[in-house]
A = this chain, B = another copy of it.
Amino acid sequence: MTTPDNASAEPAPVASQDWAAASRNPQYRAAVVDLLGALAYGELAAFERLAEDAKLAPSLADKAELAKMASAEFHHFERLRDRLSSIGAVPGEAMEPFVSALDGFHRQTAPSDWLEGLVKAYVGDSIASDFYREVATRLDSDTRDLVLGVLDDTGHASFAVEKVRAAIEADSRVGGRLALWARRLMGEALSQSQRVVADRDALSTMLVGGLADGFDLAEVGKMFSRITEAHTKRMAALGLAA
């Protein structure tokens, strides 16, 4: 018979447990509170920025599309916050450690026009979706259901693709400018994520698939690589050499 510590050092056992069983491990519990706090503040910050970027819209219909995305992010936030409360965490406290990195990201990447805003909405939505999918496999069944449920409801950014593609077809120089912009978005996202990884041990350890003492930075790097590769492919498909 394995000890609980050994059992939870492997990702498979956690994934086959529900929250009640998995959360008996305090390190796992702390990691999930961190994860939900990071995701919740990510959604709240995304809501604010999309609502802000909606001001750049050239038409009321475009404004409404971005406002719709913002509102969807707010509903994701509500689900994540409610889960934090229901597992006995204080949502504000769980989110706090991630405020500075996420605000920093948005401050560094304020779009200067509508097309930059669209690319940011699309890139942000896609990276979030990749990240949710990566992390879901490492979670207990209840937390996984929540994360996949929120993920199911993303993908609102597809309208952005068509608009960006049309703008590039109309003027190829737009493509060069937006390719640089997309690269800057990804660079800034990686640099803020790495700050978070360095600060939050329990979360980072879980992200690489285990609860062993310490964690393998190379594994975190591999996850970031997979997400970056997917980003690069999407940008190429969009007509932006990333």
A48 to B63, CA, bound (A): 10
**A92: contacting residue among B48, B52, B59, B75, CB under 8 A:** B59
- Is the C-beta of A181 less than 8 angstroms from some C-beta in chain B? no
Which B residues are in CB contact (< 8 Å) with A64? 44, 77-78, 81
- Is the C-beta of A95 less than 8 angstroms from some C-beta in chain B? yes
Interface residue range, chain A: 20 to 34
CB pair A74–B77 under 8 Å, yes or no, is: no
A138 to B157, CA, bound (A): 40
- Is the C-beta of A61 less than 8 angstroms from some C-beta in chain B? yes
Oligomeric state, in copies: 2
Pick the most buried of A71, A77, A95: most chain B CB atoms within 10 A of its CB.
Answer: A71
Chain A facing B: main interface SS: helix
Q: When each residue 25-48 of chain A gets 1 if its CB lies under 8 Å from chain B and 0 otherwise, what string results?
A: 000000000000000010010011
Which B residues are in CB contact (< 8 Å) with A70? 47, 51, 70-71, 74
CB pair A55–B48 under 8 Å, yes or no, is: yes
Contact status of A95 and B60, CB under 8 A, knowing A68-B78, A71-B71, A74-B68: yes
Which B residues are in CB contact (< 8 Å) with A96? 60
List 10 A-B pairs, Cβ < 8 Å.
A44-B60, A44-B63, A47-B70, A48-B51, A64-B81, A67-B77, A68-B74, A70-B74, A71-B74, A71-B75
A interface, CB within 8 angstroms of B: 41, 44, 47-48, 51-52, 54-55, 59-61, 63-64, 67-68, 70-71, 74-75, 77-78, 81, 91-92, 95-96, 99
